[in-house]
Amino acid sequence: MRFDRCKILFGEDGFDKLSKAKILILGIGGVGSYALDCLYRSGVSNITILDYDIYDETNQNRQIGAEAVGESKVDTLAKLYPNIKTITQQMDIAWVASFDFSPYDIVIDSADTTKVKIEVAKKCYKKLIMSVGSAKRYDTNKIEVASIWKTHGDALARKIRNELKKAKFDRNFTVVFSPEEDKCKDKGSCVAVTGAFGLTICSEVIKRILKG
């Protein structure tokens, strides 16, 4: 059967926990789409994805579903991963303020906008796993998982830390990051790293759910 090997690994009780967990993924690009794929194949059946974009040809080097150029990302992935829930929504500060995160056990932030990421952290830090800079890198061995306050060598994480300090916010949340030095100035990216970020996030979600 489809999930037999997952059940062997996680145990029946653990698999039951995974199947009932409610996960929200913000942004389903190079990181979020791989987190979705991993969670879906691991037996998580209650997944909601949120994005507003359509696929562009330049997404094809790193995003699952990106062959559907010109089509909605959430609609395309809903066809590839039956029974997931979708929200087509542009993420901004007003949306974060009004959105109810309480139904979800874990929120995965793989969005691009720094201000939005900061507001999401303030609102649901207890259940948050955040992805920061995965572009401009190609060495998966450099990927780390840490508290936002323990991150190093990543400009986006540093900016988020500084803005949180200014807001007198001192709570912990989990971040997947890489201190690898930027290999280019523009928006170069490699699916080896963006995908590995997503898979690492999936692993963190599974560990958290199994621990209860």
Domain boundaries, the chain: 4-211
Q: Tens of pLDDT along 77-131?
A: 999 999 999 999 999 999 999 999 999 999 999 998 999 999 999 999 999 999 9
> What is the rounded CA–CA span in Å between residue 65 and residue 69?
9
Average pLDDT, the chain: 96
- Listed in sequence order, the residues at least 6 apart from 7 whose beta carbon sits closer than 8 Å to its beta carbon are 15, 43
Per-residue model confidence (pLDDT) at position 187: 86
CATH 3.40.50.720 fits domain 4-211: yes
- Contact between residue 139 and residue 54 where contact means Cβ atoms under 8 Å apart: no
Place of tokens 């830390």: 161
**Is residue 189 predicted with pLDDT exceeding 90?**
yes
What pTM was computed for the model?
A: 0.96
Per-residue model confidence (pLDDT) at position 152: 96
**Is residue 212 predicted with pLDDT exceeding 90?**
no
Q: Tens of pLDDT along 13-23?
A: 999 999 999 99
- Contact between residue 106 and residue 129 where contact means Cβ atoms under 8 Å apart: yes
Per-residue model confidence (pLDDT) at position 133: 87
Dihedral over Cα of 85, 86, 91, 95: its sign: negative
Q: Tens of pLDDT along 137-163?
A: 999 999 999 999 999 999 999 999 999
126-135: buried (b, 16+ CB within 10 Å) or exposed (e) per residue? Answer: ebbbbbbbbb
170-180 mean pLDDT = 97
How many C-beta atoms lie closer than 10 Å to residue 198's C-beta? 31
